[in-house]
A and B are shown apart, each in its own frame.
Chain A
Amino acid sequence: AQRVTQPEKLLSVFKGAPVELKCNYSYSGSPELFWYVQYSRQRLQLLLRHISRESIKGFTADLNKGETSFHLKKPFAQEEDSAMYYCALLGWGGAQKLVFGQGTRLTINP
């Protein structure tokens, strides 16, 4: 079964502090992992995907297969980073199904 767990519903940090949003997954094969973001009054959108190994808006995420984790990190938080963040897993096979975690609301305090 595919499952994504985000253990923190809420996360609050001060501007300029490092941020880490945790994501753990359960999947028997080799999944692809993603982070989606929803800013206030905007629609849900893709932030980054692990396979691209890219940094988007200063965020990075490394897939750790040993720990089955895909934590999202940013060294210096900015106020505009305040949003809902969802970790998502794509399992292969015929399903082509994107499974989302419960989400973490990140608040950056000035």
Chain B
Amino acid sequence: EAGVVQSPRYKIIEKKQPVAFWCNPISGHNTLYWYLQNLGQGPELLIRYENEEAVDDSQLPKDRFSAERLKGVDSTLKIQPAELGDSAVYLCASRPSGGFSGELFFGEGSRLTVL
């Protein structure tokens, strides 16, 4: 079992450029999360999906961030245009649907550096 797969692992871009991150959750996990982790901070929720529906996107800065999970499996998080303050690690996590035991399965993260 590969676990949650994220790509790219590292991305360096100049400010105002677009960037996209991809996540493939564990097979059968219908609930998917994107978290933002700034340096020296804990993960902060950006968006949660149940299948293809975004059920909690209240923390997603919608002016520049967007996400999609068209077929209820893989998900993409996009930033356009990127700003210096977006430099962070973007974590994807998944879990089975239904009752939440508190255990999330995280990917290795995508580290973004905006110059």
User: Which residues of A are at the interface with B, using a C-beta cutoff of 8 A?
Assistant: 4, 6, 9, 32, 34, 43-46, 49, 86, 88, 90, 95-103
Within the assembled complex, what's the spacing in Å between the Cα atoms of A109 and B30?
A: 42
Chain A contact residues: over half helix, strand or loop, or mixed?
A: strand
**B41/A34 in contact, CB under 8 A:** no
In the assembled complex, how far is the CB of residue B111 from the closest CB belonging to chain A, in whole angstroms? 13
Query: Within 8 Å CB of A44, what residues of B?
Result: 43, 91, 106
Q: Does B44 contact A (CB under 8 A)?
A: yes
| Residue B25 is within 8 A (CB to CB) of chain A in the complex | no
Instruction: Give the residues in chain A near B91, CB-CB below 8 Å.
Output: 44
Measured CA separation A32–B103 after assembly (Å): 11
Contact mask B31-61 → A, CB, 8 Å, 1/0? 0000000001111110010000000100000
A46-B41 CB under 8 A given contacts A95-B56, A97-B56: no
Q: In the complex, A98→B4 CA distance in Å? A: 18
21 A–B contacts, CB within 8 A, in A order: A4-B42, A6-B42, A43-B4, A43-B109, A44-B43, A44-B91, A44-B106, A46-B102, A49-B101, A49-B103, A86-B42, A88-B102, A90-B102, A97-B48, A98-B45, A98-B102, A100-B43, A100-B44, A101-B42, A102-B42, A103-B42
The interface of chain B, by Cβ under 8 A from chain A, is 3-4, 40-45, 48, 56, 91, 100-109
Question: A44 vs B103: C-alpha distance in the bound complex, in angstroms?
Answer: 11
List the 4 closest A-B pairs by CB distance, nearest first.
A100-B42, A44-B106, A46-B103, A96-B100
Q: Which of B42, B48, B101, B104 has the most CB of A within 10 A?
A: B42
Main secondary structure, interface of B, reads loop
Q: Which residue of B lies closest to A50 (CB)?
A: B102
Residues of B with C-beta under 8 A to A46: 102-104
Q: Is the CB of A103 within 8 A of B41?
A: yes
| Given A49-B103, A86-B42, A96-B48, 14 more pairs with CB closer than 8 A | A9-B40, A32-B102, A34-B103, A43-B4, A43-B109, A44-B43, A45-B105, A46-B103, A86-B43, A88-B102, A95-B56, A102-B41, A103-B40, A103-B41
A79 → chain B, closest Cβ, in Å?
A: 23
